[in-house]
Structure 1
Amino acid sequence: MPVRNKTSAQPGLTGTVRVDRRTKVLLPRLRPGDIAVIDHLDLDRATAQALLDARVAAVLNVSPFLSGRYPALGPALLAQGGVLMVDRLEGLQHVTDGSRVRVHDEMVYVDNKPVALGREVGADLLDQEMTQARSGLATQLETFTHNSTEFLRREEALLLHGEGLPSGGARLAGRPAVIVVEGQEHRSELRRIGAFVRERRPVLIGVDRGADVLHEAGLAPHVVVLENSGGELPSAATLRAARDVVVRVDRGDRRPLEHLERLGLRPVRVETSATSEDIALLLADDGDASVIVGVGMHATLDEFLDRQRAGLASTYLTRLKVGQRLVDATAVPVLYSGRLRPRHLFLALLVGLLALTVALATTPVGQEWLAQAWAWFESLRSQVAGWLS
């Protein structure tokens, strides 16, 4: 666990450092109180949320948290979580994975020796840089437009005609589909559509660790879509429970998927530059799902730009492709009130009969009927008592 040093000789924050320039590889190794060392330009919100979920004490970044190209959403999320942030670090080659370090006044110490210097990113600096970054949105939109054109040129067959997509064992035609990805408040969103899932019995598709989210909720994913990038996989139990496992690989990547085959799985490969999340959407759309409910996948302009990866154009064009089929999970409780159950009809009938009885009791005829009914009941009770005695 991290230690906020209180003595004058050892001020600052001390903890175990975890180092990896590949953030996806680093995340599974983090433990509460660790100090994460990354090289992540323009930290996105999804990665920041993963760092918060790992309960790190500090994040040391070789690259700037905000480059000024666009207002990345990750730094603000870390700041709200009280995580110490230092970026533009120099000298981290002297910091080894697993060692104990101390961070104080933008300096990193190993055995009380200063080895790396950076820039602490506080609330004031973050506000200033976010304001500057918003002015760069026009340039980012131009780049985004160009990337979208290039992606469409490369992936036209996949995007427009579904070429290369597996036929999937889980029957989708005419059924709703629920796609779960790790995102902001994805667990609460899944809980809020619980009635929809129970009553409509949709095809459940988990994307990467989103499959574990389904499994933890007591739901077995029908399809799991994975990114073959060396990141953390869903649990073996989750993968074995799925009917189909689909793996997104880069074009030309012919390496065998031994890590999945060792689990007794027969994964299906999809070669594309699209993301695993977008492959899940295209699978549901190609399978003619009646509606696609997205859990954890929001797509405002800020969130599109926040992705800042090769999949940005993929995400945009895929959502254009699936069109009106896609519904955000946050909208489902508003649009879907649930099926009418027999008990609902019985309760309404019971309330109606009670209201009718009360109304009749206020009339002379109704009072006479009630008196006759009571006399009949007393007679019946006397007869039963006589039989039992």
Structure 2
Amino acid sequence: MKRRSSRRFGAPRSQNGKRPHDGELRGRARLGKRTKRLTKRLGAADVAVIDHEDIDRVSGEDLVATGVGCVVNVARSTSGRYPNQGPLILTHAGVHLVDVPGADLFDRLDDGDEIVVRGGQVLRDGEVIAEGEQQTIEIVERDRERARARIGEALEAFAENTMTHIREERELLAGEIELPEFETDFRDRPVLLVVRGPGHKRDLAILRPYVRDTRPALVAVDGGADAILDEGFEPDMIVGDMDSATDASLRCGAELVVHAYPDGRAPGRERLEALGLDFKVVPAPATSEDVAMLIAGEKGADLIVMVGSHFNLFEFLDKNRRGMSSTFLTRLRMGEILVDAKGVSRLYQPAAGRAPMLVVTGGALAAFIVAVATSDLGQFLDLVWLKLQILVGLE
């Protein structure tokens, strides 16, 4: 009988850059029902245990970025509602993805328990505690194609929901949202608004010269604050329900604005009060991204540059939103001052700073001096210099 191999998640990858799927995978279970929070404490030697139906693109990218080798999902990674990209990103990166829908792993496991994943089985101390299906690339691509074939149904439901809620949220277009006074000055300034969304880190990196040269007000929506800090900048304002921003980003000195429901409930209030931080509350029937746009636009910004924003069907379904009424109305209200970061990265040509110019000039001058000193031209110039010295009486 062939002996089954066993390896840790920190083991080297195969030559194609992907971890093989055969054998046993051992690691410490890290449990999290909110994937975006869990990724902040995951390591390559861990097993991520999540409860995330229809893993979205951003969550997939974040999980891969942690280096984790195995993800066990107690929900369906792809429900078939729409062709979500998360499972495809994970499996193509070589992550061992297992679906065990309905498994009680959050009750049976403690964070840090040593577990083994063997194919679709999850074991602790040699006992199988959950069994499901390993999501291979072939299975994920098959399910994605089936979901794509039904996208018309999702689009129709999405459009109907959007039209229904446009009537309920028309105050976003009419300008009836009450905003408090803010410390951040937006008047006649550009604003860079960063959202944790598709490609937000890449877009923000491209815009570094834009931030350096124009010095816009930096506004983050929740976890977008960490992306701004990672680029070496500090946000002026953080807007949202504060569920994905780290404590460090919330304490960075930015003005904090909690997005509340229209009835006044504010999920982020408790966390900020526990941290002892001051904040303002803005109730609105919109997403936190929409509220951030409204604040910047209504307080006088002359340009709003969006990074990581959501505006297509798949992105909204990834966010588990059934419609886009508030975003449609908010963007309609912002008008021509709203620009997508991808457009700016194509149009904006960063000016060269002084330091690069000095380096180039200095290098050229040094090369010229060396060339002159080691050539016949150098000897000729030495002779001319001697003649001048004799003429003026220096020799």
Specify every segment of 5 or more residues in structure 2 that has no aligned partner in the other structure, as ranges. Answer: 1-7, 12-21, 358-380
Identity percentage over the alignment? 35
Query: Are 1:2 and 2:5 an aligned pair?
Result: no
What is the distance in 1 between the residues matched to 2:90 and 2:390?
78
Q: What is the CA RMSD across the aligned residues, in angstroms?
A: 3.3
Per the alignment, residue 144 of structure 1 pairs with 158
Per the alignment, residue 351 of structure 1 pairs with none
What's the TM-score once normalised by structure 2's chain length? Answer: 0.77
What is the distance in 1 between the residues matched to 2:387 and 2:220?
63
1:329 equivalent among 328, 341, 353: 341
Specify every segment of 5 or more residues in structure 1 that has no aligned partner in the other structure, as ranges. Answer: 5-9, 346-373
Q: Secondary structure of 1:67's partner?
A: coil
Q: Secondary structure of 1:46's partner?
A: helix
Q: What's the CA shift string for 1:53-94, capped at 9, x where partnerless? A: 232222212221111121011111111221111114354346
Per the alignment, residue 30 of structure 1 pairs with 42
What is the distance in 1 between the residues matched to 2:307 and 2:80?
30
**Which residue type is aligned with residue 108 of structure 2?**
V
What is the distance in 1 between the residues matched to 2:282 and 2:267?
13
Deviation of 1:140 (Å): 1.2
Deviation of 1:17 (Å): 1.3
**8 Å CA contact 2:37, 2:244 repeated in 1:** yes
Q: Secondary structure of 2:302's partner?
A: coil
Deviation of 1:24 (Å): 4.3
2:282 equivalent among 253, 260, 270: 270
**Which residue type is aligned with residue 272 of structure 1?**
A
Q: Secondary structure of 1:89's partner?
A: coil
Q: Secondary structure of 1:66's partner?
A: coil
Deviation of 1:309 (Å): 2.7
Per the alignment, residue 247 of structure 1 pairs with 258
Per the alignment, residue 17 of structure 2 pairs with none
**Which residue type is aligned with residue 114 of structure 1?**
V
What's the TM-score once normalised by structure 1's chain length? Answer: 0.78
- Residue 24 to residue 200, structure 1, CA distance change in 2 (3 Å): closer
What is the distance in 2 between the residues matched to 1:198 and 1:279?
26
What is the distance in 2 between the residues matched to 1:220 and 1:182?
16
Q: Which stretch shifts more, 84-93 or 70-79?
A: 84-93
**Which residue type is aligned with residue 345 of structure 2?**
P
**Which residue type is aligned with residue 116 of structure 1?**
A
Counterparts of 1:1-389 in structure 2, within 5 Å, are: 2=9, 11-93=23-105, 95-98=108-111, 99-161=113-175, 163-228=177-242, 231-236=243-248, 239-242=251-254, 244-250=255-261, 251-253=263-265, 257-261=269-273, 263-297=275-309, 299-309=311-321, 312-338=324-350, 381-382=388-389, 386=393
- Residue 344 to residue 74, structure 1, CA distance change in 2 (3 Å): closer
Q: Which stretch shifts more, 137-146 or 69-78?
A: 137-146
Aligned pairs, number: 351
**8 Å CA contact 1:292, 1:325 repeated in 2:** yes
Q: Which has the higher Rg, Structure 1 or Structure 2?
A: 1
What is the distance in 2 between the residues matched to 1:18 and 1:86?
15
Q: What's the CA shift string for 1:108-166, capped at 9, x where partnerless? A: 11111111111111111111111110122121122212322343344332453151333
What is the distance in 2 between the residues matched to 1:302 and 1:201?
33
**Which residue type is aligned with residue 52 of structure 1?**
V
What is the distance in 2 between the residues matched to 1:189 and 1:384?
64
Q: Secondary structure of 2:101's partner?
A: strand
- Residue 116 to residue 290, structure 1, CA distance change in 2 (3 Å): same
**Which residue type is aligned with residue 14 of structure 1?**
R
**Which residue type is aligned with residue 97 of structure 2?**
M
Q: What's the CA shift string for 1:231-270, capped at 9, x where partnerless? A: 343344654422x211112333167835324555321112
**8 Å CA contact 2:234, 2:252 repeated in 1:** no
- Residue 89 to residue 107, structure 1, CA distance change in 2 (3 Å): farther
**Which residue type is aligned with residue 44 of structure 2?**
P
Q: Secondary structure of 1:37's partner?
A: strand
- Residue 267 to residue 31, structure 1, CA distance change in 2 (3 Å): same
**8 Å CA contact 1:101, 1:109 repeated in 2:** yes
